[in-house]
Amino acid sequence: MITATISDLTRSLSYLKPADVGRIEEAYRFSDGAHHGQFRTSGDPYISHPLAVAGIVAEWQLDSQAVMAALLHDVMEDTTVGKEEIGQRFGKPVAELVDGLSKLDRIEFQSAADAKAENFRKMLLAMARDVRVILIKLADRLHNMRTLEAVAPEKRRRIARETAEIYAPIANRLGLDSLYRELQELSFANLYPLRYKVVAKAVRAARGNRREVVNRILDAIREKLAASGIQASVSGREKHIYSIYKKMLEKHLSFSQVTDIFGFRVVVNDVAACYVAMGVLHALYKPVPGRFKDYIAIPKVNGYQSLHTTLIGPYGAPVEAQIRTQQMHRIAETGVASHWLYKSSDAELNEVQQRTHKWLQSLLDIQNASGDSSEFLEHVKVDLFPDEVYVFSPKGRILAMPRGATPVDFAYAVHTDIGNRCVSARINEDLVPLRTELKNGDRVEIITAPHAHPNPAWLTYVKTGKARSEIRHFLKTMQSEESMALGERLLGQALRALNTRIAEVPEERWERLLRDSSAKSRQEVLSDIGLGKRLAAIVARRLLSLSEQHAAETRPGAIQIKGSEGMAVQFADCCHPIPGDPIIGFINKGQGLVIHTHDCPSARRSRSDSDKWIDVEWSQSLEKSFEVRLRVSVLDQRGVLAKVAAAIAEAGSDIANISVENDGSLYATNQFTLQVSNRQHLARVMRALRRVPEVVRIARTGD
């Protein structure tokens, strides 16, 4: 059985040189020896699996290194053979491919989820360096899915779900359409076996009933195209069971209501013939408005090109048709693997390679910005959405974005610096909010400012992995830097109270503190103090080896608040302190230093935790505006809101937010969030409001 299988593989390698085939046979013998005595769950000798994977890789006509790596892909994981030995016997490139495919079983992770995420991260980064890694991995997954019936039900569902969520979308992203469809179909069959059987049975029953209609449509299309002088290959195809089920699910249809379970494909000689053929089909059967897509003029992000149209066929049934050239058809079937299958300098093939390279490069960008493996996997999953919208830059460049993407996603797609400095956007010449969803054909212009930076709120609506990872990376870096600076100030304050300056602390004291507290560096300790994870007073005592009693005899001076500390200092939403208000600071774990007014009810409730309260005071040199809330009651008359807004503007304040409450009486209550410099500025605003005749009451509020 094994001999026959290796013979089959050898026969499929006729596209390679004899010397390369000899090396592959040597790799087979090495793998067979390494896996000797191992069996699959089905009872088959384990070597049958690497052979099957190599056979799939050979179908794509990948090079000899890829076929050898396919034969050896489980050797490092399941046997004692290491990367170095593979490199010595079969060359460094093969060893790198096998290493990229091997799991990290020898490293301990906090959880199975962490291990899975790290495996994907390693595999995807190896793929970014060499796309053959993922092609072999996809072949490996395909054979595993084809032989899944021998696996326990729970494990079968887990593997099927993983395939549906990760591997099938990757196959789609790389343009491997046939593989994508088969992985989807196998995942559905193993995740929902009963549903699969019911739909499959219904399709088989309908096949005979609809054969006459399908043949009639095929004959009509062929006859019409021939009469128009167009050479074409026309085929009818049954839709995949998963596609039919998905349509039933999304549109809440019964099987009998899904009328378009058959599609038709027209393959012609050149691009011009595609459009002529489409015209012929539209003359033969009426097109459904809004159901025409031109993926030739604007290819999908994975390089797929075709014309899609839906027609009203005989008996009123909708008929889906795809029209493409021979070259487009090959690329649609094999995607990025067409680089090996069809050695060509064709512009279409080059375009596929460029698109793939760009996406692989984006994986490296996401990795650089992501903090850990789970976060990286989350970002990549976001990037695998199959639906795209196509938008234009002001210079006419086309960018493909996932459905639901916003101008912020667009800005990061153009360049990371554009995203980080984005302040607003124009879509089709109109100013729009940054959370606006992009639509097909939108012309997007990003407006930037030199000192702008990402807003944490962007994370609630961005869709692309690149945007999400870059925003998180910036915020983490900024928070770390700002919290470190605040931590240094807080520790300096605590040490001054103990008659010591931070620069006077001996290096050995810092080393002992790091050793005792399991911190990696002095910067980590300072950052933890700024974030409230460590208390400055306790760190100061440890650095100076002082007792609690000695430390209690001293009291640190007040920290000065400038307003420019960034994310490390928060101004409490419950009281909205502004310069001039008496204030107090509370160290909140994870948030850093939170500033309250002295008489804030929330602060009063937490006074018992005395170690976390520190004295703060406003600096003489303040560097920002502060938010304050006013409740303004007015006579409910036409134009009164405009008068109130004008008075606020004349007093030199900006309105950040406004809400209006009206209970149907003579009066309305307006809640304003204003930007002011200090209490004196607020007093000027309130005096200006009192001069408006319709204003009857003004009060400063917290929440």
Question: Which residues are the active-site residues?
Answer: 77-78
Residue 163, both tokens: 């395939």
Tell me which H or E stretch contains 338: helix 338-341
Contacts 24+ apart (CB under 8 A), 469-473: 469/365, 469/366, 469/369, 469/370, 469/375, 469/376, 469/379, 470/365, 470/369, 470/412, 470/416, 470/419, 470/420, 471/412, 471/419, 472/369, 472/370, 472/371, 472/375, 473/368, 473/369, 473/370, 473/371
Residues in the chain: 703
Angle between helices 18-34 and 64-72 (to 10 degrees): 10
Collapsing DSSP to helix, strand or coil, 631 comes out as: strand
Q: Are 588 and 613 in contact (CB under 8 A)?
A: no
Cα–Cα distance for residue pair 564/232, rounded to 1 Å = 69
Q: Are 70 and 60 in contact (CB under 8 A)?
A: no
Residue 123, both tokens: 């595999």
For residue 473, the one-letter residue type is H
Q: 286 vs 228, 281, 475, 553, CA distance in Å?
A: 18, 8, 54, 91
Cα–Cα distance for residue pair 138/150, rounded to 1 Å = 20
Collapsing DSSP to helix, strand or coil, 405 comes out as: coil
Q: Which residue has the tokens 């390693």?
A: 122
Cα–Cα distance for residue pair 619/284, rounded to 1 Å = 79
Cα–Cα distance for residue pair 217/321, rounded to 1 Å = 11
Contacts of 188 (CB under 8 A, 6+ apart): 164, 195, 196, 241, 242, 245
Q: Pairing between strand 695-701 and 232-238?
A: unpaired
Backbone angles phi, psi at 297, to 5 degrees: -65, -40
For residue 673, the one-letter residue type is T
3-state helix, strand, coil in the chain (%, to 5): 55, 15, 30
Q: 557 vs 9, 378, 411, 504, 607, CA distance in Å?
A: 79, 45, 45, 18, 19
For residue 502, the one-letter residue type is I
Q: Pairing between strand 307-312 and 318-325?
A: antiparallel
Tell me which H or E stretch contains 289: none
